[in-house]
Amino acid sequence: MKKITIAIDGFSSCGKSTMAKDLAREIGYIYIDSGAMYRAVTLYSIENGIFQGDRIDTEKLEKHIGDIHISFQLNPETGRPDTYLNGVNVENKIRTMEVSSRVSPVAALGFVREAMVAQQQEMGKAKGIVMDGRDIGTTVFPDAELKIFVTATPEIRAQRRYDELKAKGQEASFDEILENVRQRDYIDQNREVSPLRKADDALLLDNSNLTIAQQKEWLAEQFNIVVKEQEP
């Protein structure tokens, strides 16, 4: 069967990676969380004195962008890929609120996006990939055969993230998470380079009232439709 490219974009914390990972596992495709790459650049910046308070030393980051090597390796315990920054597993570190609160301004920088998009396009060269993010259907893979744009209300998204952090035993404040979700959405939608928007040919999914199982089933249906259309 001919392999295709699947782009899943949408607002923060709406369930993109949950859907993308499950589908990739079921159909034997590679899964790439492009947000993890921007988070890894942010962690590098925090750990290497590139932030002065909230200010980003863009000159320093640009000088070091070539030193930031991001890769993914399957974690046999979770069955999901973990993110590595220069050979070190940073999967837990990149999910903290500190990284979440600093990532969107870093991801708005043109030279950061250029470097990440080049790596993402290289990863998807052979197709057979599910990638989720903000600009996958618009910029990274504009020719993707299946494009989805996911949304849900900010309150529902914040509640899902709050529940997740609580379940992991991490300190969390619902109000802080809601504020972060809103702030990231705003920056992601209003930046100059590749702003978050639905590609004209993307299918819209509002999963506010869907369970994980229901959205998984919906996505599998869309995949089967597209694959059938591709058959000679």
The set of residues, in sequence order, having a beta carbon less than 8 Å from that of 109 and lying 6+ positions away, is 56, 58, 61, 193
83's contact among ligand L45E5XJ5, ligand ATP, none, with CB below 5 to 8 A by partner kind, is none
Instruction: For residue 91, give the 3-state DSSP assignment.
Output: coil
Tell me which stretch binds ligand L45E5XJ5 (CB under 6 A): 31-39, 122-130, 147-155, 216-224: 31-39
Residue with tokens 């899943």: 8
Give residue 49's region: left, alpha or beta (phi > 0; psi -120 to 50).
left
Closest distance of CB 74 from ligand ATP, Å: 18
DSSP for 9-71, please give it.
Answer: EESTTSSHHHHHHHHHHHHT-EEEEHHHHHHHHHHHHHHTT-EETTEE-HHHHHHHGGG--EE
133 binds ligand L45E5XJ5, rule: CB under 6 A: yes
Tell me which stretch binds ligand L45E5XJ5 (CB under 6 A): 68-76, 127-135, 142-150, 167-175: 127-135
5's contact among ligand ATP, ligand L45E5XJ5, none, with CB below 5 to 8 A by partner kind, is none
Pairwise CA distance, residues 141 & 100, whole Å: 25
CB-nearer residue toward ligand ATP: 5 or 17: 17
The set of residues, in sequence order, having a beta carbon less than 8 Å from that of 108 and lying 6+ positions away, is 187, 191, 192, 193
5 binds ligand ATP, rule: CB under 6 A: no
CB-nearer residue toward ligand ATP: 5 or 100: 100
Question: Cα angle at 44 between 30 and 172, to 5 degrees?
Answer: 80
102 binds ligand L45E5XJ5, rule: CB under 6 A: no
Closest distance of CB 32 from ligand L45E5XJ5, Å: 10
209's contact among ligand L45E5XJ5, ligand ATP, none, with CB below 5 to 8 A by partner kind, is none
CB-nearer residue toward ligand L45E5XJ5: 5 or 34: 34
Q: Residues in the site for ligand L45E5XJ5, rule: CB under 6 A?
A: 12, 34-35, 38-39, 103-104, 107, 133-136, 184, 188
Binding site listing: 10-18
